[in-house]
Structure 1
Amino acid sequence: MNFPFKQLLSFIALFILAIFANAQGPSKTIISGKVIAEGSNQAVMFATVMVGNTITKKTIDGTTTSEDGTFKLSTALPDSFYLQISFIGFKTKTIENLNISNGRVNVGTIQLEQTANELDEVKVVAERSQTEFKLDKRVFNVGQDLSSTGASAVDVLNNVPSVDVNIEGQISLRGSQGVQILINGKPSILASDESNALGTITADMIEKIEVITNPSAKYDAEGTSGIINIVLKKEEKKGMNGSISVNTGIPDNHSVGISLNRRTEKFNLFTQLGAGYRSMPRDNEDVNLNYLNNSLIESEGTDYRNEMFYNITLGTDYHINDKNVITLSGNFAYEVEDQPSLTNFSSYENGLLVSQWYRDEKTEATNPKWQYELQYQREFKDNKEHTLLFSALGSFFGKDQSSEFENVTTFGDAVDPFQRTETAFSEANYTFKADYSKPINDEFSFETGAQYVITDVSNDYAVFDFVDNGFIPDSSLTNLFNYNQKVLGVYGTASYEKDKWGVKAGLRAENTDLSTLLTNTNESNSQDYTNLFPTLHVSYKLTETLSLQAGYSKRIYRPRLWDLNPFFNIRNNFSIRTGNPNLQPEFTDSYEVTSIFIQEKYSLNFGVFHRRTTEVIERISTFQDNVNIVTPMNVGTNQSTGLELNAKYNLSKKVTLQGDANYNFFKRIGDFEGTSFDFNGDQFNSKLTTKFKLKYNIDFEVTGNYRSQYKTVQSVVSQNVFMDLGIRKKIINGKAVISASVRDVFASRFQESVVNQEDFYIYSYGLRGRFITLGFSYGFGKGEAMEYSGSRRR
């Protein structure tokens, strides 16, 4: 798709210049001084220095002290102001009645008094909860998760409460796969269904993961079960900082990464470099049984996805002044795939073996992907929460893949076709977004904004059969499928907060314009629809330790490319997945009530939720000539009611327990081609993590998982129990960390399902197996190894 980039850049330039024209504030005063520890006279590094308004008590500006304890900041001051200095292990000190002389305030040397009581209290805070609960989301701090050592973002997600990643890498939230994945709060090619780019993000690149089960109108309405936002680290300490990490594992899982940051008064330059190799074997077993003629096809084998991957991220924050910041960043990743597989087939008729053969696959692919973003943020002088944000983001993912398939008969009649496929895939995304936030007073505020997202995809797939010593194209399987979607959204929210209670209401309107074209048959499909998505959140603080929250939102799940493309891949000729170009979007009304109880030694989060989904998309199996053809269909409605419990208990100073349990009961109503799919079912998932603090700065962690059996419209999915382990030791005064993890200790995390219909029976089994990883991380400059999450600029 040709996009008018010159016009876009001109528009951005005019937009920013127009704002800068009004960005000049009153004259500024330079405040300087030095902070030392009382008694030792040693400089206190990275202490927080805050300037406040004496009358309103609101923060005006702030900074942190440098390595020698000095600080300097330039800001506009009111007639009456004060200075507050604080740091871990010291009493907070407030300085008032300051005088301005020649545009400067020099407070000289400030001594901070140490306090053992506060230091002990800070030690507790520093070991912050693995999961933090906020008004409309839960925050999972990745740095505390030992079993994620050397893991990818997909593995980290599997340890987040209420989130599940199955063996195929499909991500679900509270049992639903209609979830939207964001990177740093925005759509990203790194989270695309068509790529494996989440695998290029390692755990030590992630600061936190936010789980938003009932998003406000500010967020995309996409994702029927909610939003998962992956926030990447960006070091912001002054000077040169960074860290390097090296990982190795079995099966092959080797990577090296480096993160660098250079911070000055005006610029924050950051980069991340990574490279690695991994092997992801998978054992498969399938059975297709035809009840009508008593014929049976069995298959078993192992396929691999071996990858070399490289990625680089570059970016800069330019602080034009204290109120205006421009960020320009880009990411490039490149994967080289090798996917060998060998599958053994056996054919039976009336219980007798008729033939046997194996199918040998050799697949190679290269996947370039890149992303770039320009962002401008302005903070208005009347209130730091009064902000304007404008961003333009573009991304691309490509795949150039070739495969060879050869059948070799070992028993019975010889049918040995030799086939070749070629795939040229490309996806381009453009997102333009503007957000404006304005506090009216201390209690009332509102937000508004708009977003325009363009997705343009092309999938060119060709199949060649080996005939008469040469390959000729198979026109019945060769196709070019084009997919184009444009989504325009506008929103507004208003919130009102008192001391004990608050309410936030919003409305989002989205227009979707979707078109698909199958060029070889000239089959086209278009959809154009506009929907309203209201949201409501209420919170009430019963006591200092007990709060209640309630929320409602309406969500949408739009069919993806592979849901719509009617053609299929020939990787396994007896198990085929194909799309449905007439598929309609799902709509979900989501309600939840949550209580949060926090005490000194334990915290408890208990919630009740209900979801009603219409036009539910389900994978329906049909059986033709012993071939299982799976196609997505809109099949009726689903009502799901669930209970969720998250708890953490500090058993002692050395042992902490954290548990997560989720139960939901669902009722399905629907039919397909005259067949009723009405049924009831339930599902239960639980997780328990035990953390131990051992001698010699060693941390040990054990996580057990249980997933119950559950039903879909046709299949029964088996229950699952598995365990992860992690251990970590800090060395070199905490600047370096040695870690090890074992995921799926007993190799019991399998995916097993059975479809048992009147005319056919289908059994499917898959297992990834045990993964062992050893990692080393070292932080240099003012950086820290592995656990540091960048502080906000003050």
Structure 2
Amino acid sequence: MKLIRLTCTALFLLFSRFVFAQNATISGKVEDTSNHSALSYVSIGLYKSADSSLVTGTLSKDDGSFSIAKQLPGTYYLKIQFMGYNTSITPQFSINKNENKQMGLIGVKPTSTFLKEIAVTGKRAGNLNKIDKQTYRADQFEAAKGGSAVDVLKNLPSVAVSGQGEISVRGATGFQVMINGKPVLSDAQTILSQLPANSLENVELITAPSAKYDADGKAGIINIITKKGANDGITFTANAQGGLPSTTDYNNLKQPQRFGGDATLNFRKNKWDISVGGNYTRNDTEGFREGDVFVKNRTENTITRLPSEGERSFNRYNYAGRANIGYNIDGNNTLSLGFFAGKKFQDRLAALDYHNTTSDLTTNALLKSNPYYNNNLETKEGNFTLGNLDYSHSFKDKSTLSTSFLYEKDNLYGNDRNLNLKSDAPNAALIQLVYNPYTKPLEGYRFKIDHAIALGKGKLESGYQFRYDTQEGNYGYEIDPVPATPDYDRFIGSAKSKNIINAFYSQYSGKASKLEYVGGLRYEYSKRTVDLVKNTSVQPSHQLNLSNLFPSANILYSFSDFWKLKAGYSKRIQRTSNNELNPIAEREHSESLEQGDPDVLPEFVNLTELGLIKNFNKGSVFATAYYQQVKNPIQRVNSIYADSILNRLFTNAGKARSLGLEIGTNYQVNKWWNFYVGGNVYNYRIKGDLTILGTTTPIYNQTWVYSVNANTNFQLAKAWSLQANVNYLSNRPTAQGEDSRFLSPNMSLKKSFLDGRFAATFQWQNIDLGMKESNRQRITTSGADFYTTTNYIYEPDVLIINLSFNLDKLKTKDKLPKTEFGDKEF
């Protein structure tokens, strides 16, 4: 706390000369005259009355408010401009020295064309490009209804989701997740799968984050904006979902269950803004796995082959409750309290028939054959709890000071049971049973303080952040029958990891005529410690201290209202997860172990992008070229543990880079048909040396990768709509092999009732029709003396029905925008 007090004092001293500046301020609020709703991101220009020259400008905030500070006494007028609205010019007004000029409500009137489009289609723009981010409206993707935030994300142009559920942005799997601007400490995939799609308002992609954001996330930041009440009153939404098993039967032991629901209640009145919600989702998956492995033993001159096939299915559910309370103490002070608690459960069953053979490496003569049945059950559970407390104060000169405290505590536990039998018959003879239970509770918190003040024609922001997180994993190992020389030191023990990060930043943003800009610098000092106990032997501590600067810069130049150019640069870091650091081995499958490396280094990334945006009457199109340079890319690689077992571990792999192009367009063809298409294509190259258990091997892999996400909507009648979408991800390289392409087509039919307050949506997911192309993925790796390929086949042609109810007392705004630790380890 002493450090925080010193930091606050330094910030105030730094900015004190600005607090007492002798300048006037102009404030007001912009609203839509047709429904009296606030309008955000409206352009407000300040002009001199004498010669109509532009002095400065700004954009309205989420609530429509704006403030223009540091102006000299004189006579001025305001010009308010926004796409789809008539330009509004205020009467002339005079301001005096140190005056706080209140303009009150300024109304802007929608154009007649805009009003007609709203009356006919009832649609809002699906995406918006700004200087530092792209914003997408979540409810435009009907196929995601009843699903999770992942189902929304996979439709965005730069996002791809693989068959394993791995999320990537511009080809990179590491990114920071924020919910309503608050970082989440947990793993991205886990926390996003717990957020119901129906609770999302918008998704923001920040691909070149500025210095005020955490430096975490090599692919940038995904910020999830949840629904809130738009104006005074009550808003209530509820959804229920149920589904049938796939039309394709994989003879799994259990039929999958699919059902769930979620509800959100928003209350906004006077100084209070309260939102509460909850959800439960059961979403099992049938599946099948085909695998083939061979391992060469040159010492014995043999080759062992391990072909396998059988069930690979998932039982999973999650439930959560969430609440946020906002209180506007007065015009200068606001307080916000947030809370989230949830549970996630998953078990994955791999029931496989193996036919192992060992042959002479030279003659290929069969030496022995060993068929057996492997029942591998992996169970993971997690209880997640997090809360945040935020406070913001505005000073008389319109500078602001805000503080935020976030706390997260997650209880993570599970086990692996690997059972080998002579066959799958009842009472079959036991070959080997391996059981790996674990617990790895996690706790973390962060505190930050930010100060912002008008300086010149822009804004100066500075702040400090402290972060602390720790996880203590305890790992067990039981084996039956016990081997003559059991390797308990390799499988039993504990791994405690701790991260401490101190960060300072400062950045300046502003607008000069047609140019918007922001530039800043962030400094971080971090300390990572990993303490290990193998069996009962205490190991030397592994420590890593880092001191780094993270510069950033973004510009947006408007040639006109329709053409814009943007550019950005950001240096990022992808910190190691505790799973990547844990060297205690886990028997993940019959033919594989998995372990981490306590000395693996974090990845450092330089992100650069250059984009062009074109807006037109019926839509928009954008194209962004980008370059990502990665130092110390972390890879999961294979080595030989035994003739029939591979060892998978995490290690750094030299350097990597991606050079790509991201494009996206949305177009309203006519009043009943619109479409949205996004794509990403990049060239990925990785080269350097892989050091695996003391052995160094040079690697070089390069290829082109692309993904396409397309979505089209047909308004069949006033209350009927049909939507189709497809997600496609091409083959892509890894350090030792390749992951195959992944295809997922979907279709949705929606019927609205009671003026849109009730809706029924019929979904057809992973359309395949017997072609054996959808919802399947092959993963292949190889080395000098091993080869492994596995084809994961998930159920296609799944039918889902989603029912939703929406009670909104007042109209919502016709506008767009408005846990960091545990999931990473789940």
TM bucket (normalised to shorter chain) is 0.7 to 0.9
Counterpart in 1 of 2:527? 513
Match status 1:224 vs 2:218: yes
Match status 1:321 vs 2:343: no
Match status 1:175 vs 2:171: yes
Distance 2:243 2:3 in 1: 46
Counterpart in 1 of 2:806? 779
Tell me if the contact between 1:434 and 1:450 (Cα under 8 Å) persists in the aligned partners. Answer: yes
User: Which AA in structure 1 matches 2:801?
Assistant: L
Distance 1:449 1:340 in 2: 48
- Quote how far apart the aligned CAs of 1:595 are: 0.8
Q: 1:439 aligns with which of 449, 454, 465?
A: 454
Distance 1:362 1:626 in 2: 19
Tell me if the contact between 1:236 and 1:790 (Cα under 8 Å) persists in the aligned partners. Answer: no
User: Which AA in structure 1 matches 2:154?
Assistant: N
Distance 1:791 1:757 in 2: 49
Counterpart in 1 of 2:677? 659
Once the two structures are superposed, residues 535-594 of structure 1 have per-residue CA deviations (whole angstroms, 9 ceiling, x without a partner) of: 121222223321111111111111111111012322313122211111011111121111
Greater shift in the superposed pair: 258-267 or 458-467: 458-467
Distance 1:63 1:504 in 2: 20
Q: Where do residues 509-658 of structure 1 align in structure 2 (5 Å cutoff)?
A: 509-520=523-534, 521-523=537-539, 524-623=541-640, 624-658=642-676
Any stretches of 5+ residues in structure 2 without a counterpart? 11-18, 20-27, 49-54, 65-72, 94-105, 246-256, 360-365, 819-826
Counterpart in 2 of 1:73? none
Residue 406 to residue 534, structure 1, CA distance change in 2 (3 Å): same
User: Which AA in structure 2 matches 1:570?
Assistant: R
Any stretches of 5+ residues in structure 1 without a counterpart? 16-21, 23-30, 38-43, 66-77, 99-109
- Quote how far apart the aligned CAs of 1:677 are: 0.9
Q: Where do residues 32-111 of structure 1 align in structure 2 (5 Å cutoff)?
A: none
Q: 2:741 aligns with which of 702, 711, 719?
A: 719
Residue 627 to residue 610, structure 1, CA distance change in 2 (3 Å): same
Counterpart in 2 of 1:399? 412
Distance 2:273 2:400 in 1: 20
Tell me if the contact between 2:39 and 2:60 (Cα under 8 Å) persists in the aligned partners. Answer: no
Residue 9 to residue 539, structure 1, CA distance change in 2 (3 Å): closer
Match status 1:192 vs 2:187: yes
Once the two structures are superposed, residues 609-664 of structure 1 have per-residue CA deviations (whole angstroms, 9 ceiling, x without a partner) of: 11221122222211232222121221211232212222223332222232222221
- Quote how far apart the aligned CAs of 1:204 are: 0.6
- Quote how far apart the aligned CAs of 1:722 are: 3.1
- Quote how far apart the aligned CAs of 1:441 are: 4.2
Tell me if the contact between 2:373 and 2:424 (Cα under 8 Å) persists in the aligned partners. Answer: no
Counterpart in 1 of 2:394? 379
Once the two structures are superposed, residues 431-462 of structure 1 have per-residue CA deviations (whole angstroms, 9 ceiling, x without a partner) of: 111222222244x2211112111111111111
User: Which AA in structure 1 matches 2:258?
Assistant: N
SS at match of 2:423: strand
Match status 1:501 vs 2:515: yes
Distance 1:213 1:743 in 2: 29
Q: Where do residues 289-308 of structure 1 align in structure 2 (5 Å cutoff)?
A: 289-292=294-297, 293-308=302-317
Residue 57 to residue 557, structure 1, CA distance change in 2 (3 Å): closer
Counterpart in 1 of 2:758? 736
Residue 365 to residue 562, structure 1, CA distance change in 2 (3 Å): closer
Distance 2:88 2:567 in 1: 39
User: Which AA in structure 2 matches 1:376?
Assistant: Y
Q: Where do residues 419-430 of structure 1 align in structure 2 (5 Å cutoff)?
A: 419-430=434-445
Residue 13 to residue 513, structure 1, CA distance change in 2 (3 Å): closer
Q: 1:275 aligns with which of 276, 280, 288?
A: 280
Match status 1:207 vs 2:224: no
Distance 1:748 1:46 in 2: 44
- Quote how far apart the aligned CAs of 1:493 are: 0.8
Tell me if the contact between 1:707 and 1:721 (Cα under 8 Å) persists in the aligned partners. Answer: yes
Counterpart in 1 of 2:342? 333
Q: Where do residues 463-482 of structure 1 align in structure 2 (5 Å cutoff)?
A: 463-466=477-480, 474=488, 476-482=490-496
- Quote how far apart the aligned CAs of 1:14 are: 13
Counterpart in 2 of 1:131? 127
Residue 296 to residue 564, structure 1, CA distance change in 2 (3 Å): same
Distance 1:529 1:52 in 2: 45
Distance 2:783 2:286 in 1: 31
- Quote how far apart the aligned CAs of 1:361 are: 4.2
Counterpart in 2 of 1:255? 260
Match status 1:284 vs 2:300: no
SS at match of 2:183: coil
Counterpart in 2 of 1:369? 384
- Quote how far apart the aligned CAs of 1:374 are: 0.5
User: Which AA in structure 2 matches 1:772?
Assistant: L
Once the two structures are superposed, residues 388-445 of structure 1 have per-residue CA deviations (whole angstroms, 9 ceiling, x without a partner) of: 2210000111123355443221299965223333221211120111222222244x22
Residue 315 to residue 142, structure 1, CA distance change in 2 (3 Å): same
User: Which AA in structure 1 matches 2:765?
Assistant: R
SS at match of 2:726: strand
Residue 737 to residue 365, structure 1, CA distance change in 2 (3 Å): same
Counterpart in 2 of 1:266? 271
- Quote how far apart the aligned CAs of 1:484 are: 0.5
User: Which AA in structure 2 matches 1:288?
Assistant: V
SS at match of 1:120: helix
Distance 2:405 2:289 in 1: 43
User: Which AA in structure 2 matches 1:505?
Assistant: G
User: Which AA in structure 2 matches 1:522?
Assistant: V
SS at match of 2:178: strand
SS at match of 1:410: coil
SS at match of 1:551: strand
User: Which AA in structure 1 matches 2:588?
Assistant: R
Distance 1:736 1:447 in 2: 45
Match status 1:705 vs 2:720: no
Distance 2:336 2:164 in 1: 36
Once the two structures are superposed, residues 103-156 of structure 1 have per-residue CA deviations (whole angstroms, 9 ceiling, x without a partner) of: xxxxxxx99999855521545895233222111111121111111111111222
Tell me if the contact between 1:235 and 1:790 (Cα under 8 Å) persists in the aligned partners. Answer: no
Distance 1:712 1:60 in 2: 44
Counterpart in 2 of 1:140? 136
Counterpart in 2 of 1:388? 401
Counterpart in 2 of 1:68? none
Tell me if the contact between 1:242 and 1:260 (Cα under 8 Å) persists in the aligned partners. Answer: yes
SS at match of 1:531: strand
- Quote how far apart the aligned CAs of 1:94 are: 9.4
Tell me if the contact between 1:237 and 1:791 (Cα under 8 Å) persists in the aligned partners. Answer: no
RMSD between aligned residues: 4.5
Structure 2 length-normalised TM: 0.80
Q: How many residues align?
A: 751
- Quote how far apart the aligned CAs of 1:202 are: 0.9
Tell me if the contact between 1:462 and 1:473 (Cα under 8 Å) persists in the aligned partners. Answer: no
Structure 1 length-normalised TM: 0.83
Residue 248 to residue 86, structure 1, CA distance change in 2 (3 Å): farther
Distance 1:727 1:433 in 2: 46
SS at match of 1:563: helix
User: Which AA in structure 1 matches 2:278?
Assistant: L
Q: 1:756 aligns with which of 776, 782, 785?
A: 782
Distance 1:723 1:502 in 2: 39
Tell me if the contact between 1:355 and 1:411 (Cα under 8 Å) persists in the aligned partners. Answer: no
SS at match of 2:635: strand
Greater shift in the superposed pair: 84-93 or 677-686: 84-93
Distance 1:161 1:111 in 2: 35
Residue 475 to residue 598, structure 1, CA distance change in 2 (3 Å): same
